[in-house]
Each structure stands twice: as structure tokens, then as C-alpha cells.
């Protein structure tokens, strides 16, 4: 397959029900490819693809591979011994991963690829950037790993050369991309089942940055100023490099200020300050743009500022950028309000769901929620994601729940790890570490037993947040809907 178009090519997507895979399949079909696919089961995404006329198979066997397929695209979760992959290999059919196919689209002549990388905040920043570009009339194509209603779900097929996508470091998949513009939001240790340590992760981000074209060809990188690894990542780059952060030395400086006055809630529980936060962006001492951040927390203000700078680089004006950011309504599983659990007396319990599964994400999200909502108690139901991540980052997790009054830990969500890794750490290990740090924590199993327990424990004025990259969101839904 060449990079000069997909018209007439026949693609088969294995694992097409994933957010990124479904969006990529739609984009490939819009560019002229004949697309089929398979998945392990149904669901809203698969149902939507069927309604749109995609030919799908649910059995994922060798028989499901079309006779005329030219290229098989597989998600990162598909192993090489998968029956469809084995059959394609036997036939001599090209098998490539999701990121490689996305990279081919970015490399197509006339395409301007924008890749948003970082340990945290990729989906939020990509969604905000997409919303700004759409609102400014720049009509981008977009693929994001979360659902955002304002951009059409997790994908969008636009009419301009712009192609905006997340750039995930897992399995070094972002090395397969071919962006013109890159963003590195932050850089920390994660995915230590893939990387040998932080040095390997830093080098991986450096490889990603080196893929950007030279400045004279339009290449650019926007990177977090405060990152201790910034100099290592940017050393020797030929693209234009700019930094963004809260530090005065950053080329793009983000400033967040609280505006508001003390007030007392209806039950006179205690004095609180209800604030209207204002985000302001400075460039070389010049105040260029200001807006009210669409979501609570300095990390979300920073993400929105990154979206603002990137959108301006791509042609949006500052007035449109500010208006679009203030109209952004959020995305699924990012501090998403699920609803309220009614109680016999009082106003009830607020319930929020979040995707955070790394210690830094846990810490920043809980602090932001506590500051913004000022609950009587903050109860966090945290589902660890991967045994390897839990084991490698156990000490960091142990100190990341300081803002919570109670932490409920279900079983670790088992994915990708070996059985040996599965036996190396348990939820009880994390609970014990949390208690050693003075945090009120308990283990509840199975997952569907948590909502009934919370119903018994909850008090008027509490805020319950479910966190994790697995299926812990079902607890939030059950708590509100039961």
C-alpha cells in the first residue's frame, strides 16, 4: 500500500469495536478504502458501525478473514497468535498495527498531522483541540481514545488537511506516526511492562520528537517547560521547539487565578469559597488570550492552554479559541458527572467517574475535585489497572490518595500481564500501603458489591468518584441508577 491514497484498497480491522480502531476504520473508508472488520462482541460502537453499513464478523476465526483483503489492521490488544492474524500471515496478507495505519494516513501528501503525546491528558487535550478547530471552521479529521459528544464521539472525518490524533507511548506505537506538529504534555514512568525504566521512556519520547520534520518544512514541537526531561528529549531537534507551562521562563506561560467571594452553603456546614477560575496565556510578556477553564483543576487549565496554543499554530484566532474552550462540555470518564444518589434526608451524594489510573492522575484529579466541589467527604473507588503497573508504582500510589477521606479498592483489573505478574501483587497490598500512610482504605470484592456498600456508608454532602481504566465505571452507574 502506498501513502498517496486508499481508494480501492481492501482493509480488514481486527478489534474494530475499540474507540481508536472504529474511528480509524471510518476515516479509511471516507478516503476510499473498502473496510470490513471483526470484534469479540457487540456494544454501542459495533452497533453504530453496523448501522453505518460496515460488514462485521463477531466470531474472530480464520473463516472471518475476507478472501480479497489486502491489509489487516490490528489493535494493540490483538496478539500475533490470534486466529485471524495467523490466517492472514498464512496467506501472505500484510498485517499492521493501528498506529502504523494511522501513520500512513498522516504521511499522505497534503495531510497535516498533529500528534498529542504525554503520560497524562492526551484524550482531554486532543478533544479540546478538536473542538476548538471545529468551532473555528478549520474542519479537522480527528481520532481520540475517548468519547466526546462535541466532536462526534471518538472520531471525526473532516474536509481539511488537518488530522489530529492521540500519540500513545504504549508499545512505542507513536513511533509509527508521521506528524507535522507534535505535543508532549508531560513525561513520567508508566507502562513498565513494556519499558525497562524511565530512561527508556525518555528515549522513546525523544524518538517520537525526532520524527517531526525540520522547521523549514513546517515541523514543530510544543513541550512542557517544567519537565525534567525536556532538554534530553529536544536535544538536536531540527523542528521548531517551544515550551509551555506555569513557570515564568516558559515561552508560553499559563496563569490560573481564582475569582470569587466567601459564601456559606445551605446547611452552614462550613465556609467555602465558590470560585470562577480564569486561565490566562502569556507569550513573551504579552497577554494573548484568557478564558474560564472548562473543567476543574490546574492540570485541565494546562491542557486547555496547550490546546489553545496548538489551535493558534494551526490557524485559529484567539477570540475563537477562547470562546470554544469556554463552550467545551467535556468527555466521557474525565471528571464526568454521572448524577446524584438520593438519600432519605438531605441533598444526597454527588457521583463522578474518571479514567485516572496513574498516581499523578489520581493525585491531581482528587485535589481538583476536592477544591472545586468542597464535599463533606471525598470517597474514591479506585480500581488498579494492570498488576505490573500497580507493582511498579506501588509507592507512588500509596501517597496519591491524600485528598480522599475514604478509598475503596476492588480487585486489580487484569489485562495484558502474565499469570506470574498477576500473582505478584494484590489489591490487599495497596490497601495495606494506604493504611500505612494514614489513609482510610478498604478492599471490597466483587465489584458489584461496592455500590450497595456505598449506599450504606454514604452521607449527605459526600462526593463519590470512581477511578480507573477498567470497568469501575459500572459502580458509579449502579450507585446513581439503583
User: What CATH number is attached to the domain comprising 411?
Assistant: 3.90.190.20
If asked whether residues 322 and 340 sit together in one domain, one would say no
If asked whether residues 56 and 144 sit together in one domain, one would say no
If asked whether residues 135 and 275 sit together in one domain, one would say yes
If asked whether residues 366 and 288 sit together in one domain, one would say no
If asked whether residues 289 and 383 sit together in one domain, one would say no
If asked whether residues 145 and 227 sit together in one domain, one would say yes
The predicted structure's pLDDT at residue 113: 97
Buried b (16+ CB within 10 A) or exposed e, 26-49: bbbbebebbbbbbbeeeeebbeeb
> Of 327, 359, 394, which marks where a domain is finished?
327
If asked whether residues 211 and 352 sit together in one domain, one would say no
CA pseudo-torsion sign 89, 93, 94, 99: negative
- Given a cut of 50, whether residue 266 has pLDDT beyond it is no
- Find the largest Cα–Cα distance for the chain: 72
Domain that holds residue 281: 110-327
CATH number of the domain enclosing 33: 3.40.50.720
The predicted structure's pLDDT at residue 238: 97
Per-residue pLDDT band for 1 (boundaries 50, 70, 90) equals very low
Per-residue pLDDT band for 264 (boundaries 50, 70, 90) equals very low
The predicted structure's pLDDT at residue 8: 86
Distance CA 162, CA 314 (A): 9
If asked whether residues 435 and 394 sit together in one domain, one would say yes
Does some domain include residue 128?
yes
If asked whether residues 340 and 323 sit together in one domain, one would say no
- Given a cut of 60, whether residue 240 has pLDDT beyond it is yes
How is residue 273 written as a grid cell?
Answer: 469559597
CATH number of the domain enclosing 166: 3.40.1190.10
If asked whether residues 360 and 292 sit together in one domain, one would say no
> Of 300, 327, 354, which marks where a domain is finished?
327
If asked whether residues 157 and 214 sit together in one domain, one would say yes
Number of compact structural domains in the chain: 3
Does some domain include residue 292?
yes
Question: Hey, which residues does 406 pair with through a beta bridge?
Answer: 379
> Of 267, 300, 327, which marks where a domain is finished?
327
If asked whether residues 405 and 286 sit together in one domain, one would say no
Residues 90-139: tens digit of each pLDDT: 999 999 999 999 999 999 999 999 999 999 999 999 999 999 999 999 99
Share of the chain above pLDDT 70, in %: 95
Amino acid at each position: 500500500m502506498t501513502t498517496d491514497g486508499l481508494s480501492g484498497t481492501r482493509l480488514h480491522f481486527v478489534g474494530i469495536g475499540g474507540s481508536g480502531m472504529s474511528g480509524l476504520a471510518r476515516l479509511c473508508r471516507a478516503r476510499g478504502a473498502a473496510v470490513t472488520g471483526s470484534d469479540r462482541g457487540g456494544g454501542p460502537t459495533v452497533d453504530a458501525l453496523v448501522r453505518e453499513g460496515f460488514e462485521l464478523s463477531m466470531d474472530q476465526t480464520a473463516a472471518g478473514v475476507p478472501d480479497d483483503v489486502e491489509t489487516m489492521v490490528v489493535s494493540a490488544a490483538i496478539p500475533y497468535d490470534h486466529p485471524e492474524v495467523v490466517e492472514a500471515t498464512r496467506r501472505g496478507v500484510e498485517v499492521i498495527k493501528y498506529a502504523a495505519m494511522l501513520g500512513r494516513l498522516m504521511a499522505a501528501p497534503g495531510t497535516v498531522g498533529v500528534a498529542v503525546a504525554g503520560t497524562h491528558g492526551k484524550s482531554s487535550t486532543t478533544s479540546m483541540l478538536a473542538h476548538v478547530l471545529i468551532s473555528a471552521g478549520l474542519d479537522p479529521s480527528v481520532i481520540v481514545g475517548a468519547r466526546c459528544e462535541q466532536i462526534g464521539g471518538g472520531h471525526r472525518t473532516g474536509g481539511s488537511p488537518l488530522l489530529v490524533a492521540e500519540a500513545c507511548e504504549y508499545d512505542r506505537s507513536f513511533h509509527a506516526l508521521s506528524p507535522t506538529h507534535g505535543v508532549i504534555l508531560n513525561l513520567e514512568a508508566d507502562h513498565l511492562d513494556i519499558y525497562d525504566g524511565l530512561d527508556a521512556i525518555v528515549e522513546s519520547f525523544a524518538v517520537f520528537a525526532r520524527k517531526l520534520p525540520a522547521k523549514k518544512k513546517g515541523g514543530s514541537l510544543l513541550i512542557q517547560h517544567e519537565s525534567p526531561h525536556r532538554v534530553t528529549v529536544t536535544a538536536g531537534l531540527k523542528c521548531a521547539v517551544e515550551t509551555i507551562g506555569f513557570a515564568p521562563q516558559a515561552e508560553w506561560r499559563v496563569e490560573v487565578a481564582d475569582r470569587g467571594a466567601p459564601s456559606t452553603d445551605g446547611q452552614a456546614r462550613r465556609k467555602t469559597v465558590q470560585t470562577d477560575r480564569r486561565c490566562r496565556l502569556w507569550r513573551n510578556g504579552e497577554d494573548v488570550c484568557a478564558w474560564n477553564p472548562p473543567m476543574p483543576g490546574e492540570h485541565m487549565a494546562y491542557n486547555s492552554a496547550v490546546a489553545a496554543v496548538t489551535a493558534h499554530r494551526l490557524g485559529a484566532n484567539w477570540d475563537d479559541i477562547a470562546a470554544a474552550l469556554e463552550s467545551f462540555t467535556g468527555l466521557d470518564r474525565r471528571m464526568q458527572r454521572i448524577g446524584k444518589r438520593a438519600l432519605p434526608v438531605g441533598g444526597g451524594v454527588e457521583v463522578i467517574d474518571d479514567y485516572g489510573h496513574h498516581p499523578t492522575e489520581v493525585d491531581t484529579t482528587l485535589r481538583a475535585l476536592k477544591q472545586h466541589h468542597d464535599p463533606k467527604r471525598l470517597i474514591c473507588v479506585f480500581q488498579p489497572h494492570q498488576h505490573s503497573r500497580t507493582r511498579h508504582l506501588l509507592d507512588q500510589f500509596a501517597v496519591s490518595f491524600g485528598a480522599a477521606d475514604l478509598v475503596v479498592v476492588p480487585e486489580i483489573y487484569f489485562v495484558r500481564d502474565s499469570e506470574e505478574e498477576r500473582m505478584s501483587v494484590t489489591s490487599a497490598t495497596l490497601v495495606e500501603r494506604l493504611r500505612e500512610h494514614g489513609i482510610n482504605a478498604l478492599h471490597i470484592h466483587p465489584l458489584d458489591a461496592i455500590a450497595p456498600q456505598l449506599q450504606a456508608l454514604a452521607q449527605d454532602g459526600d462526593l463519590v468518584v470512581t477511578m480507573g481504566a477498567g470497568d469501575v465505571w459500572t459502580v458509579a452507574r449502579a450507585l446513581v441508577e439503583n
